[in-house]
Amino acid sequence: MSQQQPVLQAVALNKVLHLKPQPVQLVRGVDLAIYPGEFATITGPSGSGKSSLLFLLGLLDKPTSGTLMIDNQITNQMNSEQLAQLRLEKIGFVFQFHFLIQEFTAIENVLLPMRRLNRYGDSAAYDRAKSLLAHFGLEKKINRRPNELSGGERQRVAIARALANNPAIIIADEPTGNLDSTNAEIVINLLMTLAHEEQKAVLVVTHNLDYARTADKDIKLMDGAIRDASGV
């Protein structure tokens, strides 16, 4: 990893909510770097700041101070439109709930990010969406709506959607939280494969310590600060 440049890097990252009677610090001086090909986890007790940190790293929220770089681009001074464009190009999201549009078929859900970015023509976008779904064993279900799919299948569609624009970074917030153990294992293995075989930088928030133990890097949070970062 040391010979590569990190695709996601935070330096002295802080997030403070200015509430009364006193401010609340959600993220405290976080330094981290995630590299291509790395499967990293963020663990910690409830209320430790995991989701707050993930929102900062995913450009869904702005830090109060510190520096955040995505693919060597400093994001601090970017406006909302620039952040949205960078997020669309560089980051794919997978959440505990799939957030698929119920009225759309599986393939239509995967096509959405590509249509927003407008990088692919209609035919190329359709072919890519179909290929992604087939890669995850859903080639026969591309025209099914979310309510016609199992929980594990819906989450695989969500991963395919996250990959639609070929992002360098995949950020997953408790992606196995609503799945049984069999489907949870499938989803985690898919995310690990994306890191190790397709050189994505994959960052997963999880309560499952078994996943953390098999990660290349486990970032342990407590009270918004990193208490330990084991691994490479």
* Tens-place pLDDT, residues 148-189: 999 899 999 999 999 999 999 999 998 888 888 888 898 899
Residue 101 lies in a domain: yes
Residue 43 in any domain: the answer is yes
**Which CA distances in Å does 49 have to 12, 25, 64, 184, 223?**
15, 9, 14, 23, 6
Q: How far apart are the first and last CA of the chain?
A: 7
Question: Is residue 6 included in any domain, yes or no?
Answer: no
Here the CATH number for the domain that contains residue 132 is: 3.40.50.300
* The total number of structural domains that make up the chain: 1
pTM for this predicted structure: 0.89
The boundaries of the domain holding residue 97 are: 36-63+77-231
Report which secondary-structure segment, H or E, holds 188: helix 181-196
Structural contact between residues 58 and 94, judged by C-beta atoms closer than 8 angstroms: no
In a domain, 17, yes or no: no
Residue 23 lies in a domain: no
Extended strands (E) in the chain = 8-17, 24-34, 39-43, 65-70, 73-74, 91-95, 169-173, 201-205, 217-222, 225-231
Domain-located, residue 159: yes
- Note whether residue 172 is domain-resident: yes
pLDDT at 187: 87
The percent of residues above 90 in pLDDT, for the chain, comes to 72
In the block, residue with structure tokens 């510190």: 66
Domain-located, residue 10: no
Read off the pLDDT of each residue in 214-228 and give the average, rounded to a whole number: 92
